[in-house]
Chain A
């Protein structure tokens, strides 16, 4: 059939529109541009960060509500200002409030915790619910004003009364002043006690309880900055080996490091690099090899990297080349000069795994995003657009025409809108629900209800 069957969940599987969040205006305020999207460990919470430094958390409605057709919609749970713009007077530089990354901590009690970071400062936020309040204080009256002690003639025990649910976000830790360069990644360790933060040249390891110091575990800053040819682009902790992490570079390499080997992990344990194909060498070869994202599979056996034109899956036991390579938008290879000129070649696309590691997803231009099924080798291109935003509407696969005659429903490369970029996507950890950030809108798609 013509449906989008087969990717991510078997042959009968199809993606449908579920919800879209954000304003519809053509005129998008820069502050509203979504800069990161992340599900928590259970998938019940979905957090977004934007260029204005705000975090919005959506919560999935419990199923079994009256409205049986809404299979767990996501609604706003909490909104707060995480970071504010700052000015560094010493260096005469503005520090953007844009949220670069959000990472959830595993839930340990009723409250939820997440780390959010801008270019310089990481913050630990506690999000907690309050649905009761105490009434009948002795020392305060009903309005909270202190009562005159002389007037108190009897004691009573305050009682807890229910109140409308209030969700409060409070900053519990601020991890500052540890990064000279711009932070691109944060990653919570599997020990749930530490996390790493990476900037262009350094990676630091923090303890969640300690804000006044961090350990520097990677430093690639050359003694002489004139010799700088490579920067760190992303880093992640291994999902179950708490001593292992990886970081990627602008030269298309990935280094896996073991923190048990030495305090400063400048020497990698493994070095992943695919040899260059000499027949496709161009002036832009290095730029397009720059890795924009690295993600471990949930199993911890594989990792995935995103460079400008492709997504690669690596087996951690094989450093010489990836085990799988998926072309995201190969038709852009002949346009690299223009994309260099208009800076699009520097766009940093992210990628993500589904919960069972058999499918991967990444974004492209024109609000297209791509999904690849690792088992069936099928792939699909879908679009996040208002046009296909009818409730439970099945998404139609999209196709880019690369030359010659354009078929009906195809779009030619030259008609692609390079301002509509899908840089951030997230996949629910257990179910077939995906969140796709398209500029200032967050689209949520689900599998079709059979």
Chain B
């Protein structure tokens, strides 16, 4: 596909471009959020492509996972509560995290009807402090792979997988996260964990 050439004027976006940023700064959080949004969008689009590239999907999913791990770590350690960020950043992080988890949970439920929504949100850590086990956030990303790349093997119609995804969660209007199930419960749990 031949697209248009890339020519950009210097803009606020360029300020977000700096590859290496001080963690915890507002600029860093802005870039992280930007990358998160872009990644979610790309992942979603990638799966809908006529010929999904497994390599591209894996790389995007790993980027998503890296960011989500960071957010989760910050939530659990209370880093955000300690720094001087304005409170609306925290809420946006929470709502993004909720958004990711609910989207992926929806996917997971569609793919594997046996998972129970609330169970998957329990933050259990294993010995090394990782939250991977109890939280099916990233697992369900790759469950998605299994179905889609083995729409090489199964005859799951691609369309059906996306019926339940509420893409309104991508919008950043504060407070309107669409009709995602159990959203209030998600937020409640997030608040408990951060101790706010």
Residues of A at the B interface (CB closer than 8 Å) are: 28, 30, 88, 90-94, 96, 119, 180-182, 200-201, 224-231, 233, 250, 279-284, 286-287, 290, 333-338, 340-344, 346, 414-419
Contacts and interface: CB of A to CB of B under 8 A. Distances in A.
B19 A282 contact: yes
A230 B59 CA distance: 8
Contacts of A340: 35, 38
Given A92-B158, A182-B54, A337-B34, A279 B20 contact: yes
A181 B54 CA distance: 8
A346 B151 contact: no
Contacts of B63: 283-284, 286-287
Interface string B19-52: 1110000000001101100100010000000110
Nearest to B34: A337
Contacts of B32: 283
A437 to B, nearest CB: 15
Given A231-B54, A283-B32, A414-B7, A93 B18 contact: no
B143 A225 contact: yes
A441 to B, nearest CB: 14
Nearest to B5: A417
A300 B55 CA distance: 28
Nearest to B136: A226
A280 B55 contact: no
A91 B156 CA distance: 8
Contacts, number: 131
B170 interface: no
A-B pairs, top 7 by smallest CB distance, nearest first, are A225-B146, A226-B142, A282-B19, A200-B54, A418-B6, A226-B139, A417-B5
A227 B157 CA distance: 23
B62 A229 contact: yes
B110 to A, nearest CB: 14
Given A91-B151, A342-B6, A346-B56, A335 B17 contact: yes
10 contacts: A92-B151, A182-B54, A225-B149, A227-B139, A230-B58, A282-B20, A337-B16, A337-B31, A346-B59, A419-B5
A313 to B, nearest CB: 24
Given A200-B55, A226-B140, 15 more contacts: A28-B2, A90-B155, A96-B51, A227-B139, A229-B61, A231-B55, A282-B20, A282-B21, A284-B63, A286-B59, A286-B63, A287-B63, A337-B13, A414-B7, A419-B4
